[in-house]
Structure 1
């Protein structure tokens, strides 16, 4: 009989694998180099996660969990204003320290267009923001079930992040966010 699974080891491995993917991305991810970087073996990765696909799914879920927790910890109180909340979201996501999260988000979106079977929960990750954003931006929403307002906010943030990531033009993208806020609230 084989050794029983060790949940603590799996969690440690997941944390380190998530750090690795945030630093290196998913493109060309191979179990052998990943295992070497983590000080384990490909066999142990498969033992703990079942397959490379399940490992990647766990890493993406952990990255989303970390990102959401850190965003919640670092945003100004929601009571300030919806505009302040939007500016806080932009400030947090656009910081250079978040580059790994932003690159991973775009990498998953792009790969998901070609290989949607690899990311069965991708739509849930996007729609999961609707309730939080709808509550925050109720002054631009048309009702409690409005998904257009949060979709618009997410599209602008994603577009500006893509622009910032590819061009590095912080001044222009910050000004574009300022203009978006003006259009919504002034």
Structure 2
């Protein structure tokens, strides 16, 4: 009994250590291939593990999708918080422009498209996935409110203007994901931001 415990503990440690790696790889697979192609057996094959291994770590496809959605959201928030240009931005317009420079990149366009696709995918239980997408939008609006209030907008103005700015960015991301028409979309952004921020 004593001899087998270290071996069992070692296996448990290796098993637990593998989970974050599999989650990261599954997230990359989803960003590359989309929700429609996300099925446990093909994903397991792409990750170089068995279907049973994925189930041992995540119990179901739905649980894996929930965790993938949460990781994708968290990674985007971390990227925004770590961006030096965004951290150095002063005032609402600079913050919005610095944020857009990140959000318009191919990876982030794909990420938001996948998050929205996940939020609207058919259940098993879609409640958690919808909540993750809602939290992302709510977080961004709350952050924009802080910037707008610091810029002298009232609390009431900050809610509506923050919502408009986040809606503009998300809408243009979706347009960019579908059409790839960067020039037209950047022009729309440049036109829209000053109008939304005009007092």
Q: How high is the TM-score relative to the length of structure 1?
A: 0.85
Q: Which runs of 5+ in 2 are unaligned?
A: 1-7
The 1:174/1:79 distance shift into structure 2, 3 A limit, reads closer
More deviation in 84-93 or 133-142? 133-142
**8 Å contact from structure 1 (residues 141, 149) kept in 2:** no
Identify the residue that residue 100 of structure 1 maps to in structure 2.
110
Partners of 1:115 and 1:145 lie apart in 2 by: 36
The 1:162/1:79 distance shift into structure 2, 3 A limit, reads closer
Identify the residue that residue 45 of structure 1 maps to in structure 2.
54
1:131 deviates by: 2.0
Identify the residue that residue 165 of structure 2 maps to in structure 1.
153
Structure-to-structure mapping, 1:111-130, within 5 angstroms: 111=121, 115=123, 117-120=125-128, 121=131, 122-130=133-141
1:161 deviates by: 1.2
Identify the residue that residue 36 of structure 1 maps to in structure 2.
45
Considering fraction of residues, name the structure with more helix: 2
Identify the residue that residue 175 of structure 1 maps to in structure 2.
187
The 1:77/1:49 distance shift into structure 2, 3 A limit, reads same
More deviation in 96-105 or 114-123? 114-123
More deviation in 71-80 or 173-182? 71-80
Aligned residues: 183
**8 Å contact from structure 2 (residues 91, 148) kept in 1:** no
Q: Which runs of 5+ in 1 are unaligned?
A: none
**8 Å contact from structure 2 (residues 109, 174) kept in 1:** no
Partners of 1:119 and 1:106 lie apart in 2 by: 13
The 1:116/1:79 distance shift into structure 2, 3 A limit, reads farther
Deviation beyond 6 Å, 4+ runs, structure 1: none
Identify the residue that residue 84 of structure 1 maps to in structure 2.
94
1:119 deviates by: 4.0
Identify the residue that residue 70 of structure 1 maps to in structure 2.
79
